[in-house]
Structure 1
Amino acid sequence: MTYPLDDSVHQLDLPQGAIRYRYSGTGAPIVFLHGALCNGEIWRGVVPELAGEYRCIVPDLPKGSHPFPMRADADLTPPGMVRLVIDFLDALGLERVVVVGNDSGGAIAQMLAAAYPERIDQLILTSCDTFGQFPPRYLKPLRPLTFIPGLGSQVAKLWYTKPVRSLFYWSIVKHGVEPEVLNSYVAPLRDPGVRRDVVKFFRGTAPRHTRRAARQLATFTRPSLIAWAADDLWFRRKNGRRLARTIPGATFTLIPDTRTFVPEDQPIELARTIRDFLAANSTPHAIQ
């Protein structure tokens, strides 16, 4: 079961620009943070499995697959992205939420929990950037190119070409992506403003952000789950285990038969894992 591409799309005007988002269900709020070069559609198979018990909120973050550019002066570095998420929560009146992150969305979730622990009810991370791996090792050689005027946009545009697109998504999705969803991921890159936005984010990635978050998460006391992809080609399993050891009381588990984009490959299994974890660690919520 999935929700269609045009289902219940809403928009918020934030200081950084307009953010498109969807929400489904009622109950305790869960906010899903996706990675780069995808959008909220990555959670389309997870949300329907949880919306019967939770209010699922899925923003399209400005990471290259967002439908329209942010303001030209928007801070879209990783710390700026954390601020954007906080502004998003404030605009929705959400004081405390469950956060689920994948890929670079997991890095943002770590930074969010480290900087604003009072806003996090529970933290759930799937395969993602951690410690010294931000950006991912395979993209790290491209980062210096983004500092050359005009070249960063051309690098981002490569993801719209079939060879690069095919290799990239093959490496992070084991079982493929439906054509209409894949188009929603890559078509926005035709817009120079969208390319500018994703270059801002990519240029701002640096290990100091994830390392600082890890140090702060050593005192994070909310229930945490690390649900790693068993067949990940991008993010090392040992880093997931290390993160689980770093966060007090965190649980580590493997999701079988999936690469980095766990919500694409195994949405039902991921939803079941999330549901079981939340049920075992349920707490009162200030906002329903």
Structure 2
Amino acid sequence: MGITTALGPARDIDLPGGRIRYHDTGSGAPVVFVHGLLVNADLWRKVVPGVAAAGYRCLAPDLPLGAHSIPVPEADLSPTGVADLIAAFLERLDLDDVTLVANDTGGAITQILLTRNRSRIGRVVFTPSDSYEDFFPPLFAPFKLLARVPGSLRPLTALLRIRPLQRLPIAFGFVTKHGLPDEIADSYLLPSRTSAAIRKDLRRFLTGVDKRYTLAAAEHFAEIDIPILLAWATEDKVFPFASAERLERAFPDATLWRIDDSYTFVPEDKPELLTKMIVEFTRLHATP
């Protein structure tokens, strides 16, 4: 969707299974931002300008996870299929030594990607994300069941037009501590509310989510020797800090940095601090 100009110009790219939209700004070594379920590239609108100003090319795709604007009816939207879509995005744009920055469901997809094809990835920044048994975490597990009921997503997305409901834990209440501007909440929720084709994409992804994907990926964490930063919210209500500590122990070259006064959507709650962490970590582990 990408409603803000902070992300840079919107462009479309054809990938196996369909076309996606992405934003591209800045120059230098590439940093690719991977969002999660029911949000889009606007999640990174307060982070991208600072990272680009520090001398990096920032690319933020709108992945087909329910807040995208271009339906992809032919795409494989299983967790492995979305991971392969990101790999194809990196290949199609010929991006190498990439810093991936992932959040929420995007973190789970990135973990899967790392175990399938990390040839173009130089380092990864995980903000609070699904992992291990929590794909989805218990709070959001009902979405998987709901998606199996024909016609169920349309009334749910219609209900979420009501602003107070958007602040409930099952919506954005437990992922952003300081709330969302109305126009950003609309950017996230309008596509699935107004497009049956987008809801079909969303349903296909939701029905494929299963912890077996993240557990299978975790079996290979010890083999992933690239630098990993875990920039985790200490107050997260969905992905507890203990999850980050578990990931730190699992990856051979992992560093855990604490972020206070934030929930899962660190790019919304603490964008300046996250920007600083991304730049410092990427410079520290730059390829000679």
- TM-score, with structure 2 as normaliser: 0.92
Residue of structure 1 equivalent to 2:60 = 58
CA separation of 1:90/1:54 partners in 2, compared to 1, >3 Å: closer, same or farther?
Answer: same
| CA contact 2:32–2:60 (8 Å) conserved in 1 | yes
Alignment correspondent of 1:132 = 133
Query: Alpha carbon RMSD of aligned pairs, Å?
Result: 1.8
Query: Superposition pairs for residues 186-201 of structure 1, below 5 Å?
Result: 186-189=189-192, 190-201=194-205
- Structure 1 unaligned runs (5+)? none
Distance of aligned partners of 1:4 and 1:249 in 2 relative to their CA distance in 1, 3 Å threshold: same
- Name the structure 2 match of 1:79: 80
2:167 is paired with a residue of what secondary structure? Answer: helix
Whole-Å Cα distance in 2 between the matches of residues 144 and 3 of structure 1?
33
How many angstroms does 1:117 deviate by? 2.6
Give, in whole Å, the separation in 2 of the partners of 1:64 and 1:5: 22
Determine the C-alpha separation between the residues in 2 that align with 1:99 and 1:121. Answer: 8
Residues matched between the structures, number = 282
Deviations for 1:170-196, whole angstroms, at most 9, x for unmatched residues?
221111112221111111112111111
1:269 to 253, 267, 273: 273
2:90 maps to a residue whose letter is L
Question: Deviation per CA, 1:89-127, whole angstroms, max 9, x where unpaired?
Answer: 122112441111000011111111121132210011000
Instruction: Note the 1:122-271 alignment, pairs <5 A.
Output: 122-167=123-168, 168-189=171-192, 190-271=194-275
Query: Greater shift after overlay, 164-173 or 220-229?
Result: 164-173
Aligned amino acid, residue 29 of structure 2: A
The answer for the alignment partner of 1:90 in structure 2 is: 91
Over 3 Å counting, the alpha-carbon distance change for 1:157 and 1:132 in structure 2 is farther
Whether the 8 Å contact between 2:157 and 2:189 is mirrored in structure 1 is: no
Query: Structure 1 residues 76 and 195 mapped into 2: Cα distance closer, same or farther (>3 Å)?
Result: same
Structure 1 residues 268 and 123 mapped into 2: Cα distance closer, same or farther (>3 Å)? same
1:227-284 alpha-carbon deviations (Å, 9 max, x no partner): 1112211112111110111000200111111100110111110010111111211114
2:275 aligned partner, one-letter code: A
1:206: Cα distance to partner? 0.8
Residue 17 of structure 1 deviates from its aligned partner by 1.7
What letter corresponds to residue 65 of structure 2 in structure 1? K
Distance 1:64 1:137, change over 3 A: same
- One-letter amino acid of the structure 2 residue matched with residue 58 of structure 1: A
Change (3 A) 1:7 1:219: closer
Q: CA deviation at 1:161?
A: 4.3
In structure 2, the residue matched to 1:69 is 71
Q: Would you say the 8 A contact 1:113–1:119 is kept in 2?
A: no
Which one-letter code corresponds to 2:141 in the other structure? K
CA distance in 2, matches of 1:161, 1:59: 27
1:182-239 deviation per Cα after TM superposition (whole angstroms, max 9, x unaligned): 1111111121111111111111111111111111111111011011112211112111
Q: Per the alignment, do residues 178 and 226 of structure 1 end up closer, same or farther by CA in structure 2, a change over 3 Å counting?
A: same
Residue 122 of structure 2 is aligned to residue 118 of structure 1: no
Specify the code of the residue in structure 2 equivalent to 1:181: I
Task: Give the Cα separation in 1 of the matches to 2:258 and 2:71.
Answer: 36
| 3-state DSSP of counterpart to 1:11 | strand
Q: Percent identity?
A: 39
Cα distance in 1 for residues equivalent to 2:261 and 2:7: 29
SS in 2 for 1:138: helix
Letter in 1 for 2:79: P
8 Å contact kept, 1:156–1:195: no
TM-score where L is the length of structure 1? 0.92
Instruction: Give distance in 2, aligned partners of 1:3 and 1:51.
Output: 15
- Distance in 2, matches of 1:160 and 1:191, equals 14
Equivalent in the alignment of 1:281: 285
Match of 1:22 in 2: 23
Q: Which runs of 5+ in 2 are unaligned?
A: none
